[in-house]
């Protein structure tokens, strides 16, 4: 018997061959596993894992006749915090190349089995993995309880003392430091880890993410480029490279990186969505449609599926004059909204699809009412960057005679002043508006105005009047809900707390407005997801301070 609790364990076996599935299920039962569920493929397994927890997941790495991969499933589950810390994940493969062994180690895989294997070998691997979970129990329990600081302290101590699994704990501690918004400390720890494991892709990517969190995009980019030169088939490296390139507004190169990541992991729903969304904004309609429609086949019922994909497909079908295609997406969005009737986000997506159908159906007035309604909410607390992109995309698709210039420009002004917090965001707004002259001019004007307000405030602060600078930034930020101005107001107030009488009130007021009206300011609809960390060791139950909300 593996351990005294193995009879209580619930296992999920993921294998496409009925015969091999039957043999493996018998092996698991013979070594004492109490309950064994089975799935024939990645899609079915993903849904089962989303619905209930398992103590053991035994998954094939390769699925004959399919682009799906067990590694993609594991990566995706961990990225989206769908795999409990206590779950043992065993990967089964027909061959173990050097790269596969390295990949398994970097993914912190619990066990890798090479077929053919014996029941004794399986029992040994499970016993080792379950022992590791128990050995790290104090760290994992703290994470599950939301005690991030306690988990960090325990992980660092185990790393420093070089106790069993100390390297894993060092990597975990570095990820927790990033989560706690301590990127400089994370960078120091990743540098130490690189000394222990020179050339480890996960450590290189961790160091790049720490630099990126500190705004050092050039250093982050060169670090990822080095990782890709050493390991060109690292999907995580391509993924992170794409994220950096988006921040640097090099959208064509970012699309190439996202495309590479998606092609390397054809069973990864998230990467297909990201490649499709960016292709949509860049204006590569055919490619965008191919990637986004692929997500439908990968799992429209999955929690990882983003309903925005349905609307982007509807817009692409609209551009092709495909009324039936638009209606199909409209019906799927309607069903989504019916499942979550309280979601204002899904209501907006549903209404947007209705507007597209109305335009193709010869009812432009009905479409105009919907477009005006969405644009009128540009200053609502829950109107985020995604809603702004949808509103801009709808206006750009309205028949020209229906768009009054003054009305259109006023909407562009409200959206531009609220969301022009970085060059990357401004460029995506321009792309969503299909780079029309009026939209480009208005958004560029807003971008310049926000930058001017910020620059003047910094000059005022450096000139000896930080109080006036903080107050002016707060007033401007409260007026238009611009996260850059609000964040700067809080930073100046905190930095000069000794010379500003009510610094704490100014900082708290700026933070309160951001919490209320600046949700996930860096979440570029369908592209950037702040909860993801390409190349990172994912920590279930722990999220960055600003998380992209799906519903």
pLDDT tens digits, one per residue of 88-143: 999 998 876 545 554 555 455 688 888 889 999 999 999 999 998 899 999 988 98
Measured CA to CA in angstroms, residue 551 lies from 39, 224, 339, 432 at distances of 28, 32, 11, 21
* Strand 111-114 versus strand 88-93 pairing type: parallel
* Interatomic CA distance for residues 353 and 318, integer angstroms: 10
| Residue 405: predicted pLDDT | 86
Whether 271 contacts 243, CB under 8 Å = no
pLDDT tens digits, one per residue of 196-214: 999 899 999 999 999 999 9
Place of tokens 């089964």: 92
Residue 250 has pLDDT above 70, yes or no: yes
| Residue 538: predicted pLDDT | 57
Place of tokens 């960016």: 278
| Triad 155, 160, 161: Cα angle to 5° | 100
What average pLDDT does the structure give for the chain? Answer: 89
pTM: 0.81
pLDDT tens digits, one per residue of 169-192: 999 999 999 999 999 999 999 999
Residues 6+ apart with CB under 8 A from 234: 201, 205, 227, 228, 535
**Confidence bin at 523 (pLDDT 50/70/90):** low
In the chain, the N- to C-terminal Cα span, in Å, equals 45
Q: What region does 546 belong to: left with phi over 0, alpha with psi -120 to 50, or beta? A: beta
pLDDT tens digits, one per residue of 350-367: 999 999 999 999 999 999
- Name all contacts of 429-434 with Cβ < 8 Å and 24+ positions apart: 429/388, 429/389, 429/392, 431/251, 431/281, 431/282, 431/283, 432/281, 432/388, 432/389, 432/390, 432/392, 432/393, 432/396, 433/392, 433/393, 433/395, 433/396, 434/283, 434/393, 434/396, 434/397
* Interatomic CA distance for residues 545 and 542, integer angstroms: 9
pLDDT tens digits, one per residue of 47-98: 999 889 899 999 998 887 777 888 888 878 877 778 888 899 999 988 765 4
What kind and span of H or E run contains 173? helix 166-179
């Amino acid at each position: 018997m593996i351990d005294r609790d193995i009879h209580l364990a619930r296992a999920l076996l993921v294998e496409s061959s009925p015969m091999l599935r039957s043999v493996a299920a018998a092996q698991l039962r013979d070594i004492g596993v109490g309950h064994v569920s089975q799935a024939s493929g990645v899609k079915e397994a993903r849904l089962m894992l989303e619905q209930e927890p398992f103590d053991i997941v035994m998954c094939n790495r390769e699925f004959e006749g399919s682009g799906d991969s067990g590694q993609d499933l594991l990566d995706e589950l961990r990225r989206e915090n769908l795999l409990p810390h206590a779950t043992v994940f065993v990967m089964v493969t027909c061959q173990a190349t050097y790269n596969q062994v390295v990949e398994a180690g970097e993914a912190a895989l619990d066990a890798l089995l090479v077929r053919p294997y014996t029941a004794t070998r399986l029992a040994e691997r499970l016993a080792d993995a379950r022992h590791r979970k128990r050995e790290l129990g104090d760290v994992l329990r703290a994470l599950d309880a939301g005690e991030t600081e306690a988990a960090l302290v325990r992980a660092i101590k185990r790393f420093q003392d070089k106790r069993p699994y100390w390297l894993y704990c060092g990597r975990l501690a570095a990820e927790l430091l990033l989560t706690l918004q301590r990127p400089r400390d994370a960078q120091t720890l990743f540098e130490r880890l690189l000394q222990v494991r020179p050339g480890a892709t996960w450590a290189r990517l961790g160091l790049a993410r720490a630099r990126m969190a500190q705004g050092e995009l050039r250093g982050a980019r060169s670090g990822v480029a080095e990782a890709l030169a050493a390991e060109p088939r690292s999907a995580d490296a391509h993924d992170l490279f794409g994220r950096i390139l988006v921040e640097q507004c090099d959208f064509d190169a970012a699309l190439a990186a996202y495309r590479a990541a998606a092609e390397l992991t054809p069973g990864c729903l998230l990467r297909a969505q990201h490649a499709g969304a960016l292709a949509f904004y860049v204006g590569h309609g055919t490619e965008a449609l191919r990637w986004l429609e692929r997500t439908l086949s990968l799992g429209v019922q999955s929690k990882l599926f983003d309903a925005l994909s349905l609307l982007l497909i509807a817009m692409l079908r609209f551009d092709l004059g495909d009324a039936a295609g638009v209606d199909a997406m409209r019906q799927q969005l309607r069903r989504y909204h019916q499942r979550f009737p309280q979601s204002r986000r899904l209501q907006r997506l549903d209404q947007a699809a209705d507007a597209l159908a109305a335009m193709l159906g010869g009812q432009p007035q009905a479409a105009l009412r919907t477009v005006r309604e969405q644009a009128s909410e540009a200053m609502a607390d829950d109107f985020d960057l995604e809603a702004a992109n949808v509103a801009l995309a709808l206006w750009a698709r309205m028949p020209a005679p229906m768009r009054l210039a003054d009305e259109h420009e006023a909407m562009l002004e409200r959206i531009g002043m609220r969301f022009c917090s970085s060059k990357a965001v401004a460029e995506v707004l321009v792309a969503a508006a299909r780079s029309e002259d009026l939209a480009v001019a208005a958004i560029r004007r807003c971008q310049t105005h926000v930058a001017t307000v910020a620059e003047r405030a910094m000059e005022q602060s450096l000139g000896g009047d930080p109080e006036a600078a903080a107050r002016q930034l707060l007033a401007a930020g409260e007026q238009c809900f611009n996260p850059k101005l609000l964040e700067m107001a809080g930073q100046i107030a905190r930095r000069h707390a000794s010379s500003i009488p009510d610094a704490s009130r100014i900082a708290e007021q700026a933070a309160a407005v951001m919490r209320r009206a600046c949700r996930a300011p860096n979440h570029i609809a369908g592209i950037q997801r702040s909860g993801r960390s390409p190349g990172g060791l994912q920590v279930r139950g722990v999220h960055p301070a600003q998380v992209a909300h799906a519903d």
